[in-house]
Chains A and B, each alone.
Chain A
Amino acid sequence: MAVAAENQSQPPQNDLPYVLILKPPAAFSIFGDHFFHSPKFQFLKAFESPLPLSQFLLTHAQSVQAILTSASGSVTADTIRLLPHLGLVVTTSQGINHIDCSECRRRGIAVAGAGTIFSTDCADSAVGLLLDVLRKVSAANRYVKQGLWSSQGNYPLGNKLGGKQVGIVGLGSIGTEVAKRLEAFSCSISYNSRSKKPSVPYTFYPNVVELAVHCDALIICCALTDETHHLIGKEVLSALGKDGVIINIARGPIIDEKELVQCLIKREIRGAGLDVFEHEPDVPVELLALDNVVMSPHNAVCTTESLEELRKTVVGNFEAFFSNEPLLTPVPLDDLPHLSGHILQGEVRYSMLQGEEEMMTKSCLLMVVKNPDRSFCLFAS
């Protein structure tokens, strides 16, 4: 499908609505550009244009009603502001930390994600990584494949998984699936979450340090937000202790990676299993030489079966949107608790008279207050 000439706005070549893609999602590299194809919409691929992004957006601003993004592609407030007709952002991930949800909420733009498609695969990965670290599966595999079993004898012992106390950070859909699996190994489960969950049989700890004190392993399953950035730092890692293991299948920045690397090198914790890192695809070089770390390239969700589910969900969300039907996996934007009570430095754009086109901008302090009905108010100074 030919894209409209770059130096002037043109109406779409056919009647199909446009979905903007800023950066190609991983699925394109694995399956090809046609992976999310549908007869009901067409893609506008910014990454195929020679124009700088801002110019590309200005050129096509009027045509774009929806965006397809992935975990590695941010959808910022700046981008959103350039697209007056944007009504939907669909991400191929379960996480939404890379999308400016406050701006979306302000504009009434819907956000849809992968829902819970990936929860079981993530949970399987988390348990697989935990077993691997404790029982040294990858390290022993390397040892045998280097011919060392026959020349150097037995590999050092691993440690039993069963009976371990496992702490889950964030008991959402992924955390719940992890807990269910580990119970079958006779682990005892405890957790920390934003709030205690009354119907859940596991022990709740009000903060992650206390959780770490009482656990042999921590599994990070929570969202990345302002509150959870570097949640796992020196204090938590010390509390976890030198026999402790940490598994991260959530987002790299939840852990203070520099601290983690030091703890691993000095054997202040037993080991780690990591699918995500602070600056993907860069991995701290010190980790590459350690035997007590198991790493994967942010592909905990990447199974053939789940990606097919994802394809149907992404296409289904766009098709529903363009036919004014309910989205398949909408993300509720009301629940942005990390903002409540915060004072923000922000800008207010306003017009002096109703209906007046010219908007003025003023810097001010804003306080975010969450209402009982879970909507938000912003009070401007």
Chain B
Amino acid sequence: MADKEPQQPEELPIVLVHRLPSFKIPSDPSFRDQLRSQFHMLDPHESPEPYDSFLARHAPFIRVLMTIGPSPISAEFLERLPVLELIVATSAGLNHIDLPACWSRGIVVTNASLAFAEDVADCAVGLLIDVLRRISAADRFVRGRLWPVKENYPLGFKLGGKRVGIVGLGSIGSEVAKRLLAFGCTIAYTSRNKKQSVSFPFYANVRDLAANSDVLVLCCALTKETYHMINKDVMVALGKDGVIINVGRGSLINEKELVQCLVGGDMGGAGLDVYENEPNVPKELFGLDNVVLSPHCAVMTPESFEALDQLIVINLKAFFSNKPLVSVVSKE
């Protein structure tokens, strides 16, 4: 869409950039050019005017905001934007946004799941293969020059035939399921509601799912209901050889109890990308070969960031031309 002459910013549709000062708009130059050439990006932190007065002055015109990373949006903040209709989030997880407050105002929220889902699923599967087949541990064995010393390495476990329970069968959970089916795993799930179009067995609560699974993969959102949903009861139900993979949010799991189970040998292993208090990871996990730790990078590939940039531009353009949005987060 090449204009004969660049439009004045004031003529372009307004988008508020909502960010904690330490977070920035994605830095790719072509992304920033696309944004600034099509939208009037209002960034309070780039203005010399005090934040509150800047916001109050522009509020009557702000229908869309883009929120960067985990910059929080509370009900009180929403009250300062009376004509807000759309929030475009740049993460998959939205526990930093008061979603019920948005929905009761009729504000639509889109997230990054569509851009991130495949990479997160790849990470979840990578962690699972690593835990079951001890790939990182084997790599450490070879690097430690233990192989020539005729010490035979502990066996891994076959993936095929494992019963995988997916907690949260959204876009990420579906991509995980698709991959693990190709390895010969069987899939069951729990979700807020049974999904009519899906043929995998559904369990109404995570404890029942755990009792019928060898592996749990956590792909759901962190909400009041899901906080610490994986606790000692669930881990006991999963069993002594059970494996948990977490690519959701750290607080889905009661981390203290997880550490106790793992250290005590009461679980088969765990693959974790997220933690309750990042970047601090319980040190007791460092020495465990059946635990694979990843520094919250399940989404982090150049390809997914590019996909996210495109997703943001698509949704902003769609909104201002009354076209359908993608990656909309709904109550279901």
Contacts and interface: CB of A to CB of B under 8 A. Distances in A.
Interface of A: 26, 29-30, 120-121, 124-125, 127-129, 131-132, 135, 137-138, 140-145, 147, 149-150, 153-155, 157-163, 180-181, 183-186, 280-283, 288, 294-297, 299, 302-307
A281 B148 contact: yes
A141 B293 contact: yes
A131 B132 CA distance: 14
Given A158-B297, A281-B147, A295-B139, A186 B158 contact: no
A159 B305 CA distance: 11
Contacts of B119: 160, 162
Contacts of A305: 157-158, 161
Nearest to B301: A160
- The secondary structure that dominates the A interface is helix
Contacts of A157: 297, 300-302
Contacts of A144: 281, 286, 293-295
**Ranked 7 nearest A-B pairs via Cβ:** A184-B182, A128-B129, A131-B126, A296-B138, A160-B303, A144-B293, A305-B158
Given A138-B130, A163-B303, A149 B139 contact: no
A294 B142 CA distance: 9
B279 interface: yes
B184 interface: yes
Interface in B104-129: 118-119, 122-123, 125-127, 129
A130 to B, nearest CB: 9
Given A160-B122, A306-B158, A143 B178 contact: no
A128 B302 contact: no
A124 B297 contact: no
Contacts, number: 170
B51 interface: no
B152 A186 contact: no
Contacts of A282: 148
B126 to A, nearest CB: 4
B161 to A, nearest CB: 8
Contacts of A120: 158-160, 183-184
Contacts of B286: 144-145, 147
Interface residues of B, number: 54
A288 B158 contact: no
Contact of A137 (B130, B157, B179): B130
A303 B155 contact: yes
Given A26-B152, A143-B295, 15 more contacts: A29-B150, A132-B136, A137-B292, A147-B286, A149-B281, A155-B295, A157-B297, A159-B303, A181-B183, A183-B182, A184-B178, A282-B148, A288-B145, A296-B141, A304-B157
B122 A304 contact: no
B142 A297 contact: yes
Contact of B147 (A137, A141, A161, A283): A283
Contacts of A143: 295
A280 B148 CA distance: 8
Contacts of B133: 124-125, 128, 303
Q: Which of A30, A297, A305 has the most CB of B within 10 A?
A: A297
B55 to A, nearest CB: 31
A147 B139 CA distance: 19
